[in-house]
Structure 1
Amino acid sequence: MAQTDHTSSYYAASANASPDRPALQGNHETDVCVIGAGYTGVSTALFLLEQGFKVTILEAARVGFGASGRNGGQIVNSYSRDIDVIERNVGPEQARLLGEMAFEGGRIIRERVAKYNIQCDLKDGGVFAAVTEKQMRHLEAQKVLWERYGHNQLELMDSKRIREVVNTEAYVGGMLDMSGGHIHPLNLVLGEADAVESLGGIIHEQSRVIRVEQGVKAVVHTEQGQVTADFVVVAGNAYLGGLIPQLEAKSMPCGTQVITTEPLSESMARSLLPQDYCVEDCNYLLDYYRLSGDNRLIFGGGVVYGARDPANVEALVRPNMLKAFPQLKDVKIDYAWTGNFLLTLSRLPQVGRLGSNVYYSQGCSGHGVTYTHLAGKILAEAISGQAKRFDAFADLPHYPFPGGRLFRVPFTAMGALYYKMRDQLGW
């Protein structure tokens, strides 16, 4: 039987109070039915409700059950493939639109937190840490690229400067993005769900969608009810299952692992990250970490292709934490968990429409916290009849993984092993 309550994570253990929302029963009508109560679904619903639409969200488990409630909690700008890659592969107007939107998701998060008074431990400042000189040169080019799109809250850091913000010998330098930052991710989506309901939106938990019947009006079926809607938004990402077969071939669920220490003393916490910024390194299989609101170190990394749950998350992640911070060798790990995200071959999001009224966005490829909030805005714009920015994403080319469904996991894992070797050798 599928799990329908939150995983045993630090986030679930420290979540703000949230009501149990009843499962869908019987037949209902709405303007927009959203499938999935993670960031994409809840963000879309909020933008639509603010425009006066009637919205119903159907969630198979609990609000924030998937990646939205399990991720590293970092506000990271741009996409999993940066704007320079987009510029090389699309026309100038499409590249301009996508470049301008690359920094919008973080602004939306801060606007939501302020407008709806969401308590989610929001902190400013994110560090990209270079392990090699080659990575440092990439960050120098990235700063120039981002500034070309008007993003100016950036500071390059040499080896001395980065140790002022990340107390480790692991890095040769880095880049500080003060528009980056970090949050308690589950509390963010729970606060946004409360905002949805404050505007009259309806959320049904434990309401797994089993079929979407397309037509002039779509009918979304659960095991105990159905919702008839003018529009449907499919926002299940890696937890969608086989509901929409057309969306499976060009994406693959992957797992990432996170551990959380016991609470650290104030002096220990500040000795690790004196300014309380979040950090991610520049490796292909990157590590990411930050302090929680109660001074725990939250440390994540690694990818399990095909979204299998590893037997021992702590054993996978703890060695990397100690490589960065050997002074934590005697610190206890209180929580360890895994969560799935959806990977595309291009590492860029898949956005589109099925028929005339079923919209979707998926495949954030590890950059979901900011992108999903932008996705909610562009999906709402498209449903409202303003599709220019939606089309900029929808027109991106996407390709199936080599090997098809049977071999996509081993093929992708082989590719990742190659890049891991490159990271280790400093190529």
Structure 2
Amino acid sequence: MPQTSYPESYYAASANPVPSRPALQGDIETDICIIGAGYTGLSTALFLLESGFKVTVLEAARVGFGASGRNGGQIVNSYSRDIDVIERTVGSQQAKLLGDMAFEGGRIIRERIAKYHIDCALKDGGVFAALSEKQMGHLRSQKALWERYGHKQLQLLGKDEMRGIVATEQYVGGMLDMSGGHIHPLNLALGEAAAVESLGGVIYEQSPALSIQRGQQPVVSTPQGRVKAKFLVVAGNAYLGNLLPELAAKSMPCGTQVITTEPLGDELAASLLPQDYCVEDCNYLLDYYRLSEDKRLIFGGGVVYGARDPANIEAIIRPKMLKVFPQLANVKIDYAWTGNFLLTLSRLPQVGRLGDNIYYSQGCSGHGVTYTHLAGKVLAEALRGQAERFDAFATLPHYPFPGGNLLRVPFTAMGAWYYSLRDKLGI
């Protein structure tokens, strides 16, 4: 059977050493089978194992192969649609539950890093950068909103203060969230996988789920084996394919691109981002960047709807980087890669249950590093019989993309173009 390797990313090149994990061979039984060894699956597995369940994880490629090991590495609170949108969509009780959970994922990440001694280059501090006075007004409103839900680690920044954080003239101001931060995302996933195994969980790599036989005890078939379980958790997100058609109909894989420079050296790196915070701007199609532990600039942005791999990633992202940091014109790009995330029409995550024993979470819509860790806790709670927080997510309304599979990409791209034009015009 052919082996699927990590993409040629900076994260894969700088990953911590990991053991080789076998593919599933033969038939086994378990309490809970989890499909996907990314953040959602690993977080769920850890919470379940800590509660005494027997857990088996099936991964089609390698631990953290998908978005969990390819993202910008930024710890960003809340959801892709913020709490004010949720407040306008659902009742006050449900909004309160979801709002209270909006800042929990980052705390879970830090707890996991401390408890299991995960080496993933954690740095505190994340900045939202405003390119216009309109965006600055949005940040003021966001600060008030988040503080209403008890999140107090926020500071508004003026233009001069932003210059002390980012060496660019692009921004009129920003907001610092000290509970934000950044990590080496693949090393976080690898550390969580090691923690799963330390508690007796079993992870099979190179074991894609080919089919699910539903029933009183669902059975997942892989190329060389089968898993019978009491419960199934589906955590494949943008890499799930059409395994469960009812989930695929309400979501769309999208690609985002990332580049990494050659090592910049301590002096140049410190001149770009003196506080070593991560940064994302406030555009609809936003850019995001940070320094790596070895003083490279990791810069990402752009969206490819339908998750096609662009022919020349550097040609897409390098101009964005130089617009922020023209002083890097002669710097070499060492790595360029794409990774897929799963978009929903509402841009809110989809959580639910199929029948009595198949649970799922998907559709982080580009905001998944913190949410996926929360999702693992919420799914584990539901499997233990505590479903209030699970139900708060599960009852959010979700709809298929207009036009079905044929038209969802052009329709979504048109909508993104419209909002991107509004960003450029400042309206």
TM category, shorter:
over 0.9
Distance 2:117 2:419 in 1: 42
| 1:243 match | 243
Q: Is residue 2:29 matched to residue 1:29?
A: yes
Distance 2:402 2:284 in 1: 20
Q: Is residue 2:354 matched to residue 1:354?
A: yes
Tell me, yes or no, if the aligned pair for 2:46 and 2:196 is still in contact at 8 Å: yes
Distance 2:325 2:353 in 1: 46
Distance 2:104 2:259 in 1: 29
Give the unaligned 5+ runs of structure 2.
Answer: none
Quote the offset at 1:388 in angstroms: 0.4
Q: Deviations over 1:277-324 (max 9, x none)?
A: 000000000000000000000000000000000000000000010000
Q: 3-state DSSP class of the match of 1:270? A: helix
Letter aligned with residue 304 of structure 2:
V
| 1:410 match | 410
| 1:268 match | 268
Q: 3-state DSSP class of the match of 2:125? A: strand
Distance 2:81 2:112 in 1: 26
Letter aligned with residue 412 of structure 2:
T
Distance 1:325 1:210 in 2: 46
Letter aligned with residue 362 of structure 2:
Q
Q: Deviations over 1:184-228 (max 9, x none)?
A: 000000000000000000000000101111111111111111111
Distance 2:50 2:83 in 1: 30
| 2:330 match | 330
| 1:9 match | 9
Q: 3-state DSSP class of the match of 1:400? A: coil
Q: 3-state DSSP class of the match of 1:180? A: strand
Quote the offset at 1:3 in angstroms: 7.4
Tell me, yes or no, if the aligned pair for 2:351 and 2:361 is still in contact at 8 Å: yes
Distance 2:308 2:176 in 1: 34
Q: Deviations over 1:43-79 (max 9, x none)?
A: 0000000000000000000000000000000000000
Distance 1:23 1:119 in 2: 26
* Shift in alpha-carbon separation, 1:250–1:3, aligned structure 2, 3 A: farther
| 1:136 match | 136
Name which of structure 1's ranges 87-96 and 210-219 shifts more when overlaid on structure 2.
210-219
Q: Displaced runs of 4+ in structure 1, greater than 2 A?
A: none
Q: 3-state DSSP class of the match of 2:271? A: helix
Q: Deviations over 1:72-109 (max 9, x none)?
A: 00000000000000000000110000000000000000
Distance 2:241 2:269 in 1: 40
Q: Deviations over 1:237-287 (max 9, x none)?
A: 000011010101110000000000000110100100000000000000000
Quote the offset at 1:2 in angstroms: 8.5
Distance 1:362 1:57 in 2: 17
Q: Deviations over 1:9-40 (max 9, x none)?
A: 00000000111210001110100000000000
Tell me, yes or no, if the aligned pair for 2:262 and 2:331 is still in contact at 8 Å: yes
Q: Percent of aligned pairs with the same residue? A: 78
Normalised by the length of structure 2, the TM-score is 0.99
Distance 2:341 2:369 in 1: 11
1:195-344 equivalent positions in 2, closer than 5 A = 195-344=195-344
Letter aligned with residue 30 of structure 1:
T
Q: 3-state DSSP class of the match of 1:209? A: coil
| 1:40 match | 40
Distance 1:261 1:36 in 2: 30
Distance 1:49 1:227 in 2: 18
Distance 1:4 1:94 in 2: 41
| 2:376 match | 376
Distance 1:20 1:406 in 2: 40
Distance 1:161 1:48 in 2: 44
| 1:20 match | 20
Normalised by the length of structure 1, the TM-score is 0.99
Tell me, yes or no, if the aligned pair for 2:3 and 2:206 is still in contact at 8 Å: no
| 2:387 match | 387
Distance 2:3 2:80 in 1: 29
| 1:108 match | 108
